[in-house]
Structure 1
Amino acid sequence: MTVAVHVTQPVRATVDEIVPRLIADLVASRVTAGDPTLWGPDAEAEASTRLGWVDAVSVSRPLVAEIVALRDDLAARGIDRVVLSGMGGSSLAPEVIAGTAGVELTVLDSTAPAQVLAALDGDLARTVLVVSSKSGTTLETDSHRRAFETAFEDLGLDPAEHIVVVTDPGSALDASASEAGYRVFRADPNVGGRYSALTAFGLVPAGLAGVDISELLDEAEASLLEFAIDSPENPALRLAAAIAGSSSEGTRRDKLGLVSDGTYIEGLPDWIEQLIAESTGKNGTGILPVVLLPVSPELESRPKDLQIVRFVEDADEFHLRERHPGEILVSGSLGALFLLWEHATAIAGHLLGINPFDQPDVESAKAAARGLLDARPEPSAPAFVQDGVEVRVSDPALAVSASIEGVLDALWASLPADGYVSIQAYVNRLELGQLQGLRELAAADSGRPATFGWGPRFLHSTGQYHKGGPAQGVFLQILERTDVDLEIPGRPFTFGQLIEAQAAGDAAVLVSHGRPVVTLTVTDAVDDVLTLFTATQ
């Protein structure tokens, strides 16, 4: 087998109970056949245009030669630095592919001005910008493209020699890029962004960066039969049952801890996080992925509603060597694991009774941000300022202590018994990457699972779960106030104003859904970060 999914009790009992039902309903073969009726009549229209990923390996084969030829052509012209502008699945899959292969790929999935400037400050003469947008109207990628076009032109470089576009055929970007003379790769329109790892969206940037994408497709192709057969050994059926199936008692762990423990694959949990959260977090239900370290507090406290998935080099050997009762052990090649999780997530949607291919609540935050960019209201006054950190709260009761420590204690106290903490950092993560450590501290301090997302990237993935999933979350936004800003050519707003509107827009939507939100704005970078770490200890 190209992948291994090893389950132990009590998970095995649920798998043994659910998988026979999936086999009787021919679920595996129906997914492979592209049967849109599998998710019910309400989802049928959407599913009928979103199952192209099951054929991605064969559809993508002809792309390999085109991508390699373009890479060779770029190299001959001295262009060997690849910058990827993409959001959600359009950036996360190539990031995993390139990281695992050990090749350099600069991923630009932020609107933080300093982070955009860092991408622009590279040697542009040897840079190719890959603009990836399925719709062709993604605000972030459009803004990146505008900034790079101007930068290329200012240096006397022809943007058509330095920009490659990946989009759906017929999109607005397809038309404008073709008119501008850019090289355009048209992706399969019947594949949603989060299921696009093995399509042009995953392969073009990774291939241009130097990854052997033919080998990646070989890995995926070797696993196709395993996922297509209605069999108790089908790893996708077993994984779907383990993460989404309810036992005969009706219980289900609705949070999924993802731990890399010795696997050679880099960053896979981050890709899985957006795939599962955006696919399942709707209609008040879902599966909340929680990306963990091997030493995270949740692995010690073991919340009853948290199911652990551990990625290892060899699942069967790992199980024999170390006992991890109640966990799911997963191993395999990267290409096969992409397909495993895509199949398992689609089947999980069937088990949960939801449409795994739409994202009805993602647009709300985008609309709110656009409204704030148009109106440009003055920022609200903070409830208080402590050591340079401005504190704003959705409920004045959260701020009665007038201290950051007290606000966080009040936020944790508002958690339901099955709740989770979501930390969202709208900052330049190249300079403030240490903020990710707040996830570990928040989990330990609150006693509940905690997630961490870089804004605005997470808005295109886990943002769906926050609004459409169970009303269990409390939300901690971290913003930065900086003198660094950058104009967006042809737009009446800057990158700094854009990321501020995105954070404020999402906060407003969360509050309208009854979710508690605390916003901490750092104004002195390093010193303020130390204040945040101290407050959560």
Structure 2
Amino acid sequence: MSDPVGGLADASAGLVVHGADVVDRSAPASTRDALVARRVPARLAAKDPTLWGPAAEAEARARLGWLDTHRRSLELLPQLAELTAELADLDHVVLAGMGGSSLAAEVIARTLGRPLTVLDTTDPGQVRRALAYRLDRTVVVLASKSGSTVETDSHWRVYRQAFRDAGMTEAEAGRHFVVVTDPGSPLGAVAAGLGAITVPADPEVGGRYSALTAFGLVPTALAGVEVTELLEEAEALAGTLGRDRDNPGLALGAALGAAATCGRDKVALVPDGTGLEGLGDWIEQLLAESTGKAGLGVLPVPLESPAAPGGLGPDVLTVSYGGSLAPGAVPGGGRAPDVAVNGSLGAQFLTWEYATAIVGAVLEVNPFDQPNVAESKENTVRLLASGVPARAPSSTEGAIEVYAPAGTPVDVAGALRHLARGIDDGGYLAVMAYLDRLGDAAVARLRPLLANVTDRPVTFGWGPRFLHSTGQYHKGGPRVGSFLQLTGTVDDDLPVPGKPYSFGGLQAAQAAGDRQALTDRGRPVLRLHLTDRSAGVAQLLDAARQL
């Protein structure tokens, strides 16, 4: 198939990958040819756990179910139909889950225009806002593969208390919960105690590969999505996974791997304007957490639009994504990308999962573990027990307290400028906002402003959500990151029922634990604390515009 960006295009089941052949052939030797010579496509389709080396074999053997989980998920459809009918009066769906347990469902709901409240935060203001909205018509989907996620544990506790405070009996409150977790997990025991319905997750699929399992399907089915179509789209593509040609997943994975081994180890993810809302955030957690380890990895950088800054540079590969592409159109919606991936959402999920596994084989890293994610969690647990150590700010300017590393200017603009100028060659800046994703949403405008100033890749993540995705890359990937952490004063805290801490205390401990994990690696971390969130966000954006 001819390609508008040059070379050949790989297409199957309505999904097309443009430009991958050109990227692969620009390397000194073809990564794709090397993969084919090793029979990687056929071996991966056959669930060969040896593809990532001996150290990864045991993990891979238990985590390759995503290759055909869409077929097993068909068995869920009758249960989902019954569940949807039984809970038809509960039409406000809240998904309490982190990382891979919530991101795919959010993409599905946004793309298909169905209402879904995603609660992947410990910010008290954001949690309070969710609790206050149509509580009597709310069903809470508690989603956690391990069943021990502290955020999800906090969410079920506060919702159960809210239901009881609203006058519901224990049995009535239990009807407002649906639990998705692995068989035998601690959350399963919680579900039994609540009297909640449990939908078992696929135990052969890791969290970030779980888009087409109960994690992606249960909340979206309750929100009114016809999920059968997603499974059919994946099934239509599945027959290509063992092929050496006309295999979009292989083309994409080989291009990403070839680029990474030739120094283009940042991937700018660009929506091309043809649907698939929020897919970049899902791809970000998949690629970052799967590849960012052993000092290696591919850093995804989701951009707001094709023209947004941060998508160019000698170490950046630009990849656009969308749901349709008109004949003769330039992929990328105005800025031609290196690679364009275009097709239906179900096929996109499977293609990117396959491509990510291919990148792991190219980089020789295990794409199914997350060895550094536990570090920040352990720091959080310790700080919840001991308390976050008090520290005086380096300076206070308006509504912002500056906590600057030694040798950094202490004014806001100076500290930002120093951090931006100190980014290593081949480095990146990560903005980590432990704030309210809805109430403080304007602070996300900081990403393109800083990308303009630094002329380097800049990522933006909401804490603690990003800890379950790019948090792995920040700690396990190449040590070239610089970090801007944003925190805010909590004016109206919210207790976590049955626990000795509040949501505000948990949020502060998570931020402090993450700071420690990064500074222990010798990475620069600038913390700006907003004593008045609204005024602080405006002040921060104004300072960034003047850099």
TM-score interval, smaller chain: over 0.9
Query: Counterparts of 1:296 and 1:26 in 2: how far apart (Å)?
Result: 39
Question: 2:50 matched to 1:42?
Answer: no
Q: Secondary structure at the match of 2:294?
A: coil
Q: Structure 1 residues 26 and 324, CA, compared in 2 at 3 Å: closer, same or farther? A: farther
Q: Which one is further off, 191-200 or 320-329? A: 320-329
For the 8 Å contact 2:24–2:258, the answer to whether it is kept is: no
d(CA) in 2 for partners of 1:162, 1:177:
11
Looking at structure 1, the residues matched to 275 and 196 of structure 2 have their Cα atoms a distance apart, in angstroms, of: 36
TM-score by length of 2: 0.94
Q: Which residue of 2 aligns with 1:126?
A: 137
Paired residues of 1:4 and 1:315 also in contact (CA < 8 A): no
Letter in 1 for 2:347: A
After TM superposition, the structure 1 = structure 2 runs for residues 87-106 of structure 1, keeping only pairs within 5 Å, are 87-106=98-117
Q: Deviations over 1:264-283 (max 9, x none)?
A: 11110000000000000000
Structure 1 residue 314, shift from structure 2 partner: 1.8
2:327 and 2:33 map into 1 onto residues whose CA distance is 22
1:367 maps to what in 2?
A: 378
Superposed CA RMSD in Å reads 1.7
| Alignment partners' CA distance in 2, 1:471 and 1:382 | 26
Instruction: Give the distance between the partners of 2:232 and 2:438, measured in 1 at CA.
Output: 34
The residue aligned with 2:76 is 63
1:376-414 residue CA offsets vs partner (Å, 9 max, x unmatched): 144211110111201112x2111xx33111111111222
In structure 2, what is the Cα distance between the partners aligned to 1:451 and 1:50?
Answer: 28
Distance 1:431 1:506 in 2: 23
Hey, what's the Cα distance between the residues in 1 that align with 2:332 and 2:72? 40
Residue matched to 1:235: 248
| Structure 2: distance between partners of 1:417 and 1:233 | 37
CA distance in 1, matches of 2:137, 2:388: 41
| Matched residue, 1:81 | 92
- Is residue 517 from structure 1 mapped to residue 525 from structure 2 by the alignment? yes
Q: Matched residue of 2:287: which SS?
A: helix
476, 493, 502: which one aligns with 2:501: 493
**SS of the residue 2:94 aligns to:** strand
> Alpha-carbon deviation of 1:326?
6.0
Asked if 1:397 corresponds to 2:384, the answer is no
Report the AA paired with residue 321 of structure 2. F
User: For residues 377 and 479 of structure 1, what CA distance do their matches in structure 2 show?
Assistant: 13
Q: Deviations over 1:298-322 (max 9, x none)?
A: 34xx210000001242286434898
Q: Give CA-to-partner distance per residue, 1:230-288, whole Å, 9 cap, x none.
A: x23211111011111259xx623000000001221111000000000000000001000
Query: Number of residue pairs matched?
Result: 527
1:286-345 deviations in whole A, cap 9, x for unaligned?
00000012221234xx21000000124228643489886661011000000000000000
Contact 2:287 2:298 in 1 (8 A): yes
Aligned-partner residue type, residue 131 of structure 1: L
Moved more, 84-93 or 305-314: 305-314
* Structure 1 residues 324 and 405: CA distance shift in structure 2, 3 A: closer
Answer whether contact 2:259 2:317 (CA < 8 A) is retained: no
Cα distance in structure 2, aligned partners of 1:276 and 1:360 = 15
CA distance in 2 between counterparts of 1:222 and 1:9 reads: 23
Taking a change above 3 Å as real, the CA distance of residues 316 and 289 of structure 1, as seen in their structure-2 partners, is farther
Of the three residues 355, 374, 385, the one matched with 2:366 is 355
Distance 1:376 1:510 in 2: 19
Matched, 1:345 2:356: yes
2:306 aligns with 294
**Residues of 2 paired with 1:29 and 1:223: CA distance?**
15
SS in 1 for 2:382: helix
Cα distance in 2 between the residues matched to 1:442 and 1:338: 30
1:303 aligns with 2:321: no
Q: Secondary structure at the match of 2:522?
A: coil
Judge conservation of contact 1:9–1:325 (CA < 8 Å) in 2. Answer: no
SS at match of 1:38: coil
Q: Structure 1: where are the runs of 5+ without partners?
A: none
Greater Cα shift, 64-73 or 142-151:
64-73
CA contact (8 A) 2:331 2:337 kept: no
Secondary structure of the residue that 1:226 maps to in structure 2?
coil
**Which residue identity lines up with residue 218 of structure 2 in the other structure?**
V
- Check whether the contact 1:476–1:519 (CA below 8 A) recurs between aligned residues: yes
Contact 2:432 2:484 in 1 (8 A): yes
Q: Which amino acid aligns with 1:421?
A: L
Structure 2's unaligned 5+ residue stretches are 1-11
Note the C-alpha offset of 1:81: 0.8
1:197-212 matches, within 5 Å, as: 197-212=211-226
Considering fraction of residues, name the structure with more helix. 1
Q: What percent identity do the matched residue pairs reach?
A: 49
1:421–1:476 contact (8 Å) kept in structure 2: yes
The DSSP-based 3-state class of the residue aligned with 1:397 is: coil
Letter in 2 for 1:204: V
Whether contact under 8 Å (1:8, 1:325) holds in the other structure is no
List, as ranges, runs of 4+ consecutive aligned residues in structure 1 with deviation greater than 6 Å.
320-323
Distance 1:410 1:223 in 2: 48
Aligned residue in 2 for 1:531:
539
Structure 2 CA distance for partners of 1:316 and 1:359, relative to 1, 3 Å? farther
Give the distance between the partners of 1:128 and 1:257, measured in 2 at CA: 36
Written as runs of structure 1 = structure 2, the 5 A alignment for 1:15-54 is: 17-54=30-67
TM-aligned CA deviation for residue 14 of structure 1: 4.2
* Structure 1 residues 295 and 319: alpha-carbon distance in aligned structure 2, compared to 1, 3 A threshold: closer
For 1:8 and 1:134, the matched residues in 2 are separated by 34
**1:315/1:329 contact within 8 Å kept:** no
- Structure 2 Cα separation of the partners of residues 433 and 410 of structure 1: 25
* Structure 2 residue 284 is the aligned partner of structure 1 residue 273: yes
Note the C-alpha offset of 1:483. Answer: 1.1
- Return closer, same or farther for 1:104/1:84 CA change in 2, 3 Å cut-off: same
* Aligned partner letter, 2:177: I
2:296 corresponds to 1:285:
yes
**TM-score (norm: length of structure 1):** 0.95
Instruction: Sort the Cα spacing of 1:321 and 1:508 in 2 relative to 1 into closer, same or farther, 3 A.
Output: closer
Q: What is the aligned partner in structure 2 of residue 217 from structure 1?
A: 231
Distance 1:143 1:440, change over 3 A: same
